[in-house]
Structure 1
Amino acid sequence: MRAARAVLIAIGVVLTGVGAVVFVAGVPVRQWPGVLLWLAGAVVLHDAVFAPLVLLGTRLLRRAGGRLSWGGVAAVQVALVVGGALTLIAFPGIRSQQLGARNPSVLVFPYGLHLALAWAAIGIVTAVVVVAIGLRRARRG
C-alpha cells in the first residue's frame, strides 16, 4: 500500500509540474490574475457549496438507505456525483443556447437533451447496479 501511495504521489507531483510549465509557457502574464481568480473561485465553490451538498446527500442517503446495502448507497452516491459533474459541465452550453450565441455554429448540439439522456443512462446503470448488489446480498444471506 505504501508503494502504491508513493507512486500516486510521484505521479501527482510530476503532473502538477507539467501543468505549471504549460501554464507559464502558454498563458500570457497579463491573464494570470484572471486564471488565479478563477482557480480560487473554484476552490471556494467546491468547499462552500459542493462538499456540503455531498455531505448532506450522503447523510440523507444513509438514513433512507435502510433498505439498501452500503454498496447500493455507494452506487447512488457515485451516480449523483457523476450526474452533478455532468450538469456543471453542460450548464454553460445550455445557458449560452438560451441566451443565443453570436456565432450559431459554435453551439451545435442540443446540450439539454444530451444532459437529460446522460441522466437517464446514469439512472439506468445505477438501478442495475443496485439491483445486482441486492440480488448478490440476498443470495449470500
Structure 2
Amino acid sequence: MRIARAALIGLGAALTAVAGVVFVLGVPARQWSGVLLWLAGAVVLHDAVFAPLVLVGTRLLRRAGAHVGWAQVAVVQVALVVGAALTLLAFPGIRSQQLGARNPSVLVFPYGLQLALAWAAIGAVTALVVVLIGLRRRRTG
C-alpha cells in the first residue's frame, strides 16, 4: 500500500509540474490573472455548492432507510460529482455567450442547452441504475 501511495503521489506531483510548465509556456502572462481567478472560483464553487449538494443528497438517501443500499448511494454520489464537473466545464462557455463574443464563430454550441441535456441524461441513467440495483437486491435478499 505504501508503494502504491508513493507512486500515486509522485505521479500527481509530476503531472502538476507538467501542468505548471505548460501553463507558464502556453498562456500569455497578461491572461494569468484571469485563469487563476477562474481556478479560484472553481475551488469556491466546489466547496460552497457542489460538495454540500453531494452531502445533502447522501443524507437524504440514507434517511430513506433500509430500502437504499450503499451501492445506490454511491451511484447517486458519482452522478452528482460528474454533473458538477460538467457544469464547471460548461460555465465559461455559458457565461461567454451571455456576455457576447467578439468573434461569433468561437462559441458555436448552445452550451446551456447541452448542459441541461447532460444533466437530464445523468439523471435518467442514475435513476435506471439505482432501480436496477434495487431490483437485484430484492431478488438476492
TM-score by length of 2: 0.78
Structure 1 position 125, deviation (Å):
1.6
Quick one: structure 1 residues 114 and 40, their matched pair in 2 at CA, closer, same or farther if it must change by over 3 Å?
closer
- Answering whether residue 79 of structure 2 is matched by residue 79 of structure 1, we say yes
RMSD, matched Cα: 2.6
CA-to-partner distance for each residue in 1:18-50, whole Å, 9 max, x for gaps?
Answer: 122223333455554554444444333333443
Q: Distance in 2 between matches of 1:68 and 1:6?
A: 36
Quick one: structure 1 residues 69 and 3, their matched pair in 2 at CA, closer, same or farther if it must change by over 3 Å?
same
Q: Distance in 1 between matches of 2:107 and 2:29?
A: 30
- Greater shift in the superposed pair: 25-34 or 116-125: 25-34
- Greater shift in the superposed pair: 66-75 or 96-105: 96-105
What corresponds to 1:8 in structure 2?
8
| Code of the aligned partner of 2:133 | I
| Code of the aligned partner of 1:12 | G
Are the aligned partners of 2:50 and 2:84 in contact in 1 as well (CA < 8 Å)? no
- Answering whether residue 123 of structure 2 is matched by residue 123 of structure 1, we say yes
What corresponds to 1:137 in structure 2?
137
State the percentage of identical aligned residues: 80
Q: Distance in 2 between matches of 1:24 and 1:106?
A: 24
Structure 1 position 68, deviation (Å):
1.9
Quick one: structure 1 residues 42 and 74, their matched pair in 2 at CA, closer, same or farther if it must change by over 3 Å?
same
Are the aligned partners of 1:93 and 1:111 in contact in 2 as well (CA < 8 Å)? yes
CA-to-partner distance for each residue in 1:92-138, whole Å, 9 max, x for gaps?
Answer: 32343344333221121122332222122212221221122112212
Gaps of 5+ in 2: none
- Answering whether residue 22 of structure 2 is matched by residue 22 of structure 1, we say yes
Gaps of 5+ in 1: none
- Answering whether residue 53 of structure 2 is matched by residue 53 of structure 1, we say yes
Quick one: structure 1 residues 99 and 65, their matched pair in 2 at CA, closer, same or farther if it must change by over 3 Å?
farther
Quick one: structure 1 residues 69 and 91, their matched pair in 2 at CA, closer, same or farther if it must change by over 3 Å?
same
Q: Distance in 2 between matches of 1:65 and 1:96?
A: 44
Are the aligned partners of 2:79 and 2:123 in contact in 1 as well (CA < 8 Å)? yes
Structure 1 position 66, deviation (Å):
4.3
Are the aligned partners of 1:61 and 1:73 in contact in 2 as well (CA < 8 Å)? yes
